[in-house]
Amino acid sequence: MSEGMDCTFCKISQKKIDCDIIFEDNLTICFRDINPVAPVHLLMIPKVHIPSVFEIGRDNSAIISRIFENISKISSILCNRSCRIVNNNGIDALQTVKHLHFHILGGARLGWPPC
Ligand code: 5GP
Ligand code: ZN
């Protein structure tokens, strides 16, 4: 899948936009959300441009394992093994950045349900 020319998260993964990166490997990058809604609010993304869950299939689904391996390590440390992982897709879910991303929310008792 080609990289999004105008994609903010592609620019972050290519270090063209500054942000607070807390973890990175060859396939993924994790950084602090610019507009946090919880004491810990991180975003975990694939470095490759994948617009949403609807573009995940047999050929690229291995990235999801890696993302969750890394979320497990990071959130066990930074969220004290208690967190919410959120993945918004499409208009009804209010996905604003069209590059697959997982919010990691923690550091406080969170509200539920979301609407
Ligand atoms: P969505 O609503 O698409 O699930 O969430 C996108 C998230 O990306 C939002 O929480 C927003 O604050 C965050 N975000 C958007 N642009 C930037 C940016 O340039 N840097 C960082 N660190 N976060 C961003
Ligand atoms: Zn992108």
Residue 5 confidence (pLDDT): 77
Ligand 1 centroid – CA 34 distance (Å):
6
Q: Look at ligand 1, atom 12, and give the residue with the nearest C-alpha.
A: 35
Residues at CB less than 6 angstroms from ligand 1: 8, 17, 19, 31-35, 43, 88, 94-97
Q: What is the pLDDT of residue 3?
A: 61
Give catalytic residue positions: 101
The list of the chain residues with pLDDT below 50 reads 1
- 26-35: which pairs have CB atoms within 8 A and are 24 or more residues apart? 27/63, 27/66, 28/63, 28/66, 28/67, 28/70, 30/70, 30/71, 30/74, 30/104, 33/103
Q: State in Å: Cα 113 to ligand 1 middle.
A: 21
pTM for the model: 0.96
Q: If you measure from the C-alpha of residue 38 to the centroid of ligand 1, how many angstroms do you get, rounded to a whole number?
A: 13
Atom of ligand 1 nearest to the CA of 17: 19
Closest CA to 82 of 90, 72, 94: 72
pLDDT at 1: 44
